[in-house]
Amino acid sequence: MKLTLGFSPCPNDTFIFDALIHNKIDTEGLTFDVIFDDVETLNQKALNGVLDITKLSFHAFAYVANQYALLDAGSALGFGVGPLLISKNKFEGDLNPDLKVGIPGKYTTANFLLGIAYPQLQHKEIMVFSEIESALLEEKIDLGLIIHENRFTYQDKGLNKIVDLGDYWEKLTGCAIPLGGIVINRNLDREIQLKVNRLVRQSVEYAFAHPKSCIEFIRQHAQEMDEAVMYKHIELYVNKYSINLGNEGRKAIDTLFNLAQARNLIPAVQQNLYI
């Protein structure tokens, strides 16, 4: 059986899925048609129900939970992994509502956290996450909301951190920050859903046991990223929650959804979130 599978070309995702899509583990009769896209494009595809299995932001998941269920394996949660709000010029005091913010997507968890911390910032421009630093340097935007490997590169470009929104979330809730997860279409047979969850977990475990085995695949899609940055990226976003959410991971996700619903930032979710 062939299933469509969408994930990003970022090192954490290629690390997680390398063993699965390159038959380094027994895929139990399943094959995968892989689609690489940035996170917001994947969010949009999830909103349209395009893929059988996909990575998506937890913010976007709130809008598609009736169609997709969250796997226990493959998620990106953790401490010290949140998005950063940065700028070219230094700002002091409250941020002016007129400031223009480059964001990596309307439905990203990063944008959700920005809405909690700075509800006055409504002048937003959606951009590919990798273009935000350049837009700041060229003064096309006043503030930038960065994710992924840009956490490790913005200072080298002379840009300034205003706030770590992951740290903000941790102080607010005491939970790990839920960034993205792997969901599967609820129309697929329950047996297939459980099998995919099992295979994604085995793929993550294989990557942890053989970290050098996927380096060429990661490098191929990371393009010009320095190898040290690639591994920092993986260490930050792939951890015990990527193997299995467990009670702590589920609590963090439930807290995110409950808080967002209480503030009317997402619609009420009636479905059980998990497979």
The confidence score (pLDDT) of residue 232 equals: 84
Instruction: Report pLDDT for 241.
Output: 97
pTM of this structure? 0.88
Q: Which of 148, 210, 221, 233 is catalytic?
A: 148
Domain boundary among 128, 149, 173: 173
Last-in-domain residue among 173, 205, 232: 173
Q: Is 148 a catalytic residue?
A: yes
Per-residue CA distances from 11 to 97, 141, 146, 219, 266 (Å): 35, 27, 16, 8, 29
Question: Domain total for the chain?
Answer: 2
In the prediction, which pLDDT does 3 show? 98
Contact 14, 203 (CB under 8 A): no
Tell me what pLDDT residue 236 has: 84
Has 56 been labeled as part of a binding site? yes
Contact between 38 and 129 (Cβ < 8 Å): yes
pLDDT for 224 = 62
pLDDT score of 74? 98
C-alpha to C-alpha distances, 53 to 5, 32, 83, 273, nearest whole angstrom: 5, 9, 25, 15
**133 neighbors 146 (Cβ within 8 angstroms):** yes
Range of 66's domain? 2-78+177-262
Is 235 a member of any domain?
A: yes
Residues 6 or more apart in contact with residue 53 via CB below 8 angstroms: 3, 4, 5, 6, 32, 182, 183, 184, 185, 196
| 75 in a labelled binding site | no
Domain endpoint, select from 112, 145, 173: 173
**Which residues, given as ranges, of the chain have pLDDT below 70?**
224
**77 annotated as belonging to a binding site for a ligand:** no
Q: Is residue 273 part of a domain?
A: no
